[in-house]
Structure 1
Amino acid sequence: MKLYIAFFALLSISILTSCSSRDDDGGGDDSIACLNLGTQELDITIQESYTTLPSKVSVFFKVNGTDGSPVAGLTPSNFTIFEQGRNDDCYNEISSSEASAAISPNAQIFSNNTLLVLDLSNSVLSSSLQELKQASTSFITNVMPAVPTESFKMAIYWFDGEDVLHELQSLTTSATQLQEAIDGITDDISNDPSTDLYGAVIKAATNAENIVDTLENEDLFAAASVVIFTDGTDQAARYSEQEALDAVSNAGEDISFFTIGLGSEIDEEVLIAIGKTGSAFAENSNELEAVFNDISNGVAGQANSFYLFEYCSPKRDGSGENDLIIQVITGDRDGVVQTSFDATGFTSGCE
């Protein structure tokens, strides 16, 4: 079993001035350099920052390692807050306890969506269907929360040689519905011996883009992961390899692509290119569940590396625009992100 994993960073979106730790590590900025904040081995990307009266500052961001791997499971103890106002030569550390710093639920502003795309051409149905169903079951269990939440959804699609990406289960928060859809796959679901792999990639990319666009039009931040399984190469030749690769490369930075290949008839180089976020390969069907689990860890890690960090600022009305640095420390790695906020109207009483 061979595994190739790389991870993505989402597009930085902020209504306030901000920069990631890669963009601003203290070099050339004396106000940040005075803090001597460390080696910057974490990359923090702000998605949104906003304030709520009487004095709450909220920052929604993603944390990756500098290699792109997601950093999940952070708590308020991993964060240090620094503010700099008009009278400060350097940033001042704000006590996390006094600031009531917290990691808050982000379901109200963020939606993570997974598209599981399965090759159900005849070669799979005749030789590895039961193993694929078991692997898909493990994937669902690992990715979907035990308690359904609107911030985690999954859909399941399948393809063969037709110019169609068949929907097996529409986007849902229910792991039970997803499991029932997998259980319902039978070996007569398709009689097409061909494989329209490139068409499936193109259509899945379009579906992911449409999902993200729809959610963002509802004022939600959204991300999607496309996970494609196949046991072969494109045989239908309806679309070109370049068209499939273009669909992946042209997709938004908030869409990740993973691929899973089975057996000796796959083209690993092509699948690695399509699975720009991560790829995994099983030599035989007995390895499928372990490979699906590896990819599920990557998908779940991406979703759980988003944080809504909130604290009560000591700045008050009249202080104007203030600079903010959030430092993240986990183990022997650290990183910072810089933004700013307007304290107009800030008073005491924040909790």
Structure 2
Amino acid sequence: MKILFKSSIYLIVLFTLFSCGNADNDVFFNPSSGSDLGEGSTVDPCLDLGDSQLTLSIQDQFTTLPGKVSIFFKVSDTEGNPVPGLTANQFTIYEQGRNDDCFNKISTSEAQARISPNAQIFNNSTLLVLDLSNSVLSSSLQELKTASVSFVNNVMPEVESESNKMAIYWFDGEDELHLLNDLTSSKEDLIASIDAITDDISNDPSTDLYGAVIKSTEKAEKLIKETKNNDIIGAASIVIFTDGTDQASRYTEKAALDKVKNASLNISYFTIGLGSEIDTEVLASIGKTSSVFAGNKAELETTFNDISYLVSQRANSFYLFEYCSPKRDGSGDNNLAIQVTSGSLQGAVQTKFSANGFTGGCE
């Protein structure tokens, strides 16, 4: 059984995770909601770890009897760039109990520390949103289709997994976000839907960019809520392509940017702009995670590949770190600090866990 530490926020995802057992009861901490550290806090200065160049942001944590502590977090550098590919031997664990003036270092080998995968408690969704207004259909449709197929191939795993899905939408000037392919784990279905796009798919020459931003955010929010209701960590990436500015004027720029600003922290935003008619400042504000711009249609596949790399890197910068704690039943709440090193860079985060019911025999 495990004691879930429910988070009020979950961020953009994700590395696959490991867990076991059934929920017993909930313990709620007071997370620093909206901060770079997620549920975590700054490490106690008594550890004297020095300046941090890496940020560990705790998204969720739980314990599993007889004595396992599991922490789910993302790692990024000071510029916000994801740090993927970390292994268990790059982490150091420190615990502080009621009788400790400061933290004690825990041997990761004796604690059987590991980075653990399990897709059962994680869902990662990507929403690819394409501008199919007349300017795209008449001048760069084939290049867009080729670039979109490359994006699907780069983002979707080779082996289908229910924890990684993508949906494709398109917009023109209508007050509607059109569905091209519903959320699926099938790479083949996604590619087939892209290949089936023809130049007569739309007869509206206008562009409802702001409406597409608002509606795609609402769809991502719904996906996050559904996963949370099932006790699953959910993340979503919204990737919006356009070759122009909003022409429909149905929604305001402020309404679209406010939607992005106030969206769940587990939704990442990427934008891809094409040509000279785009507003790079607006697209950069919408694509707050990352934005790229292609000067012409020949560069379109390269820009899509750049974004697909970032989407994948961000997903692989999320980890579930697990170890067997030496604390035992009766010790109550204990402080925990986790430090990570990557080359010459280091960072740390602090949290706490309850050792109620902890015994020996942890695996």
Q: Percent same amino acid at aligned positions?
A: 65
- Taking the aligned partners of 2:118 and 2:60, their CA distance within structure 1 comes to 12
Task: State the match for 1:10 in structure 2.
Answer: 11
How many residues matched?
Answer: 336
Shift of 1:24: 4.5
Task: State the match for 1:302 in structure 2.
Answer: 314
1:89 to 95, 101, 109: 101
Query: Is the aligned partner of 1:55 residue 2:67?
Result: yes
1:189 to 197, 201, 205: 201
- Taking the aligned partners of 1:257 and 1:251, their CA distance within structure 2 comes to 10
Measured against aligned partners, the alpha-carbon deviations of 1:29-82 in whole angstroms (never above 9, x if no partner) come to xxx323221321111111111111111111111111122111111110111111
Query: Is the aligned partner of 1:126 residue 2:138?
Result: yes
Query: Is the aligned partner of 1:117 residue 2:129?
Result: yes
Whether the 8 Å CA contact 1:325–1:338 is kept in 2: the answer is yes
Task: State the match for 2:186 in structure 1.
Answer: 174
Change (3 A) 1:327 1:269: same
Shift of 1:106: 4.1
Q: What aligned pairs does 1:131-280 form with structure 2 within 5 A after superposition?
A: 131-280=143-292
Whether the 8 Å CA contact 2:41–2:351 is kept in 1: the answer is no
- Taking the aligned partners of 2:210 and 2:223, their CA distance within structure 1 comes to 20
Question: Any idea what SS the aligned residue of 1:131 has?
Answer: helix
- Taking the aligned partners of 2:176 and 2:230, their CA distance within structure 1 comes to 28
* Equivalent AA in structure 2 for residue 15 of structure 1: F
Question: Any idea what SS the aligned residue of 1:243 has?
Answer: helix
- Taking the aligned partners of 1:236 and 1:252, their CA distance within structure 2 comes to 27
Task: State the match for 2:19 in structure 1.
Answer: none
Change (3 A) 1:294 1:21: closer
Whether the 8 Å CA contact 1:258–1:276 is kept in 2: the answer is yes
- Taking the aligned partners of 1:106 and 1:305, their CA distance within structure 2 comes to 15
- Taking the aligned partners of 1:16 and 1:315, their CA distance within structure 2 comes to 19
Whether the 8 Å CA contact 2:42–2:350 is kept in 1: the answer is no
- Taking the aligned partners of 1:144 and 1:175, their CA distance within structure 2 comes to 6
- Taking the aligned partners of 1:111 and 1:24, their CA distance within structure 2 comes to 26
* Equivalent AA in structure 2 for residue 322 of structure 1: N
Question: Any idea what SS the aligned residue of 2:120 has?
Answer: coil
TM-score, normalised with respect to structure 1: 0.91
Whether the 8 Å CA contact 1:16–1:49 is kept in 2: the answer is no
Question: Any idea what SS the aligned residue of 1:108 has?
Answer: helix
Measured against aligned partners, the alpha-carbon deviations of 1:242-294 in whole angstroms (never above 9, x if no partner) come to 22112211211111211111011111111111111111100001100111111
Measured against aligned partners, the alpha-carbon deviations of 1:199-250 in whole angstroms (never above 9, x if no partner) come to 1111111111111111111111211111110111111122222221122112
Task: State the match for 2:337 in structure 1.
Answer: 325
Shift of 1:16: 3.9
Task: State the match for 1:6 in structure 2.
Answer: none
Measured against aligned partners, the alpha-carbon deviations of 1:309-339 in whole angstroms (never above 9, x if no partner) come to 1111111122222111111111111111111
Which sits farther off after the overlay, 143-152 or 227-236?
Answer: 143-152
2:90 to 78, 87, 112: 78
Change (3 A) 1:63 1:192: same
Measured against aligned partners, the alpha-carbon deviations of 1:135-162 in whole angstroms (never above 9, x if no partner) come to 1111112111111222211110001111
- Taking the aligned partners of 1:328 and 1:267, their CA distance within structure 2 comes to 39
- Taking the aligned partners of 1:276 and 1:18, their CA distance within structure 2 comes to 23
TM-score, normalised with respect to structure 2: 0.88
Question: Any idea what SS the aligned residue of 2:173 has?
Answer: coil
Change (3 A) 1:105 1:146: same
- Taking the aligned partners of 2:46 and 2:75, their CA distance within structure 1 comes to 23
Whether the 8 Å CA contact 1:231–1:263 is kept in 2: the answer is yes
Whether the 8 Å CA contact 1:18–1:337 is kept in 2: the answer is no
Whether the 8 Å CA contact 1:21–1:42 is kept in 2: the answer is no
Task: State the match for 1:65 in structure 2.
Answer: 77
* Equivalent AA in structure 2 for residue 245 of structure 1: L
1:312 to 316, 320, 324: 324
Whether the 8 Å CA contact 1:47–1:61 is kept in 2: the answer is yes
Task: State the match for 2:299 in structure 1.
Answer: 287
Query: Is the aligned partner of 1:337 residue 2:349?
Result: yes
Change (3 A) 1:15 1:146: farther
- Taking the aligned partners of 2:119 and 2:130, their CA distance within structure 1 comes to 28
Whether the 8 Å CA contact 1:195–1:236 is kept in 2: the answer is yes
The Cα RMSD (Å) is 1.9
Question: Any idea what SS the aligned residue of 2:189 has?
Answer: helix
